[in-house]
Amino acid sequence: MNKGRVEAFSDGVFAFAITLLVVTIAQPNDYQHLAAELGRRWPALAAYVVSFSTIGIMWLNHHSIFGHFAGVDRRLVYLNLLLLMTLAFLPYPTEVLGQALARGDARTAAVVYGATMTANAAAWTALWLYASTRRRLLQPAFPESERRTATLLFNAGSLAYAAAIGVAFVDAYAFLAVQGALAVYYAFDPLSRRVQRRMEEREVAASGAATAPEASGRD
């Protein structure tokens, strides 16, 4: 199992899924009253923006997590496929939600979107638990103190996405806003920042010299 090829394959699925999202916005039916037709499509555009951000930020975090792995084995690849399966499915609920917000049962659509994201969060948690339990696939440099925190954060993430389904039952617009907020939360990736800080502190302690912040470093 070569880690690089697993990452490249995952990158391909991420890049394709994110680009495929554009087909989720329905083409106009009436080209004579185009402005009105397009105006009614703003929920589909909002769903596009939220799903695009979600996949983009998830790609970035996939990157960070795999950077902490010393290698991959078959089981991890299968858990990664599960993660990609739920991710590659996202264009479907995105289209359903965008349409339903404009002209249908938006709450059901939001529940389906929320269920997809919850399945995805569960796949992330499973991937992390498998790789981190007894430090199975972790880099030696990954700080032990952060392992527990990371496990907690992954479990909390799954719960947050499950809780968002509750919001879906109340209001689909509020649900979409919550999904956007969760994406923004993960954009700040508290886990990577903490780990990075710890690893730098350790280096400093070990070498007795401050490492200069570099443009190419993780910030």
Q: Which residues between 32 and 61 bind its own copies (CB under 8 A)?
A: 32-35, 38, 48-49, 52-53, 56-57, 59-60
28 binds its own copies (CB under 8 A): yes
Residue 159 or 187 having the CB closest to its own copies: 187
Phi, psi dihedrals of residue 40, rounded to the nearest 5°: -70, -10
Residue 208 DSSP symbol = S
Judged by CB under 8 A, does residue 134 bind its own copies?
no
Residues within window 63-102 making contact with its own copies, judged by CB under 8 A: 63, 70-75, 77-78, 81, 84-85, 88-89, 91-92, 95-96, 99-100
Does 177 bind its own copies (CB under 8 A)? Our answer is: no
Q: How many residues sit in the footprint of its own copies (CB under 8 A)? A: 74
Residue 215 binds its own copies, judged by CB under 8 A: yes
Question: Residue 133 or residue 159: which is nearer to its own copies going by CB?
Answer: 133
Among 13, 50, 65, 167, binds its own copies (CB under 8 A): 13
Per CB under 8 A, the segment of 17-25, 145-153, 161-169, 198-206 that binds its own copies is 17-25
Task: Show Cβ contacts of residue 77 under 8 Å, excluding neighbours closer than 6 positions.
Answer: 1, 6
Site for its own copies in 179-198 (CB under 8 A): 187, 189
Residue ranges of alpha helices (H) inside the chain are 3-20, 34-39, 42-67, 74-88, 91-103, 106-132, 144-170, 172-188, 190-207
CA 115 to CA 118: how far, in whole Å? 5
Tokens 């470093």 belong to residue: 217
Q: Which of 55, 111, 115 is nearest to 87 (CA)?
A: 55
